[in-house]
Amino acid sequence: QVQLQQSGAELAKPGSSVKISCKASGYTFTSYYISWIKQTTGQGLEYIGYINTGSGGTNYNEKFKGKATLTVDKSSSTAFMQLSSLTPDDSAVYYCARSPHPGSFAYWGQGTLVTVSS
Amino acid sequence: DIQMTQTPSSMPASLGERVTISCRASQGISNYLNWYQQKPDGTIKPLIYYTSNLQSGVPSRFSGSGSGTDYSLTISSLEPEDFAMYYCQQYDSSPPTFGAGTKLELK
């Protein structure tokens, strides 16, 4: 069955970076996009962007350009999202999701909590 | 960005009750509308895609409808496992955007 297993919770200091992983199994990794979504209590669910797992091409929500960097390692069927120059506003749960096409999210990971605090 | 307005924000309901959640887009979205369920542990499950199509494995008590700017999710007879958060999401225009959610609570 399709599974997206995300890495564990992160505690990071302001100004630092974190890299979250999303390991896919149960399907052909390069046949689907991987999208990333941010969830906070205040802003709700926000789309960050997606990566074409076959070509490595990316598309970002303007709001997250310069904040998030999406990459993949096809050999391990894993997608990554790096968040840089962290501020407390980046504290959130981040989800990866398998997308049959950009903008639709058919399977979700369990979420990764990122807390930014000094 | 297209704004998605969900109503109500919370809804007390009873087992067996029929409930409807509404979602209005700030402009027409040509039926490019999905619904998701989120449980308290954070697990997110897709329910409906392209307005009215049930995802595989979703019970038939869930249904979706709508057109233009107005869409809805209906649960015909509430089961205990249906008490959760529900979100609509449009993908007609980039970036995809979500409603703020509806919390379905046991009355």
Q: Coil, strand, or helix at residue A89?
A: helix
pLDDT tens by residue, B35-55: 999 999 999 999 999 999 999
Instruction: Evaluate whether A107 touches A50 at the Cβ level (below 8 Å).
Output: no
pLDDT grade for A43, boundaries at 50, 70 and 90? confident
pLDDT grade for A41, boundaries at 50, 70 and 90? confident
From A47, A62, A108, residue closest to B44, measured CB to CB: A108
List of chain B residues whose C-beta atoms are within 8 Å of the C-beta of residue A62: 95
A78 contacts: CB under 8 Å, gap ≥ 6? A21, A22, A23, A24, A72
B10 contacts: CB under 8 Å, gap ≥ 6? B102, B103, B104, B105
Cross-chain residue pair B32–A111, CB shorter than 8 Å:
no
pLDDT tens by residue, A54-101: 999 999 999 999 999 999 999 999 999 999 999 999 999 999 999 988
Q: Coil, strand, or helix at residue B4?
A: strand
> Minimal Cα–Cα distance from A47 to chain B, Å?
6
Residues of chain B with pLDDT under 70: none
Beta-bridge partner residues of A59: A50
pLDDT grade for A42, boundaries at 50, 70 and 90? confident
> Residues 2..31 of B with a Cβ closer than 8 Å to A: which?
none
CA distances from A42 to A27, A79, A85, A93 (A): 34, 27, 21, 12
